[in-house]
Amino acid sequence: MLPTKEPLKKVPGILKEFQTFIARGNVIDLAVGIIIGSAFTGIVNSLVKDVLLPPIGVLMGKVNFVDLKLVLQQETESVPEVAILYGNLLQNAINFLLVAVVVFSLVKAINSLKKKEEKAVEKNKDTELSVLKDIRDALVPKKKKT
């Protein structure tokens, strides 16, 4: 039995809907954020691995964090070493904390800018309202006291 052509009629509608979804600014902003985030991750990884951990390792007795491991089974001729590589986990945890601090700082700065903008808009609204009230009062004929 051949499939009906009815599902094919829906495809252009779905494509148009997808095009509308992609064309929204939020999706494009999200894509740019992901690209920048990927590049930022490389910078943070290098900062932690190449700049922060070596001096900390020297202070801790010339420890290389990448080599830190808990050996569960020693290597033999027939069996490879089995170990928990907690040095990598520590390095990734530091990476995560740095990224979290930077993202927190960015969000805090953006929220601060938004609050300043909202206050300026509110102040402008108050000024506009008082000017409009003054115009209204000037246009309304005043009643004479008798």
Farthest-apart Cα atoms in the chain, separation: 117
Domains and CATH numbers, the chain: 9-101 (1.10.1200)
Q: What angle is formed at CA 135 by the lines to CA 134 and CA 141, rounded to 5 degrees?
A: 100
Q: Is the distance from CB of 67 to CB of 87 less than 8 angstroms?
A: yes
Q: How far apart are CA 20 and CA 45, in angstroms?
A: 37
Per-residue pLDDT of the chain (146 residues; tens, 9 = 90+): 555 555 555 667 778 877 777 777 677 777 888 888 888 888 888 888 788 878 888 887 877 777 888 999 988 888 899 999 888 888 888 888 887 887 788 788 888 888 877 777 777 777 777 777 888 888 877 666 65
Cα–Cα dist 48/66, whole Å: 11
Q: Report the predicted TM-score, pTM, of the whole model to 2 decimal places.
A: 0.50
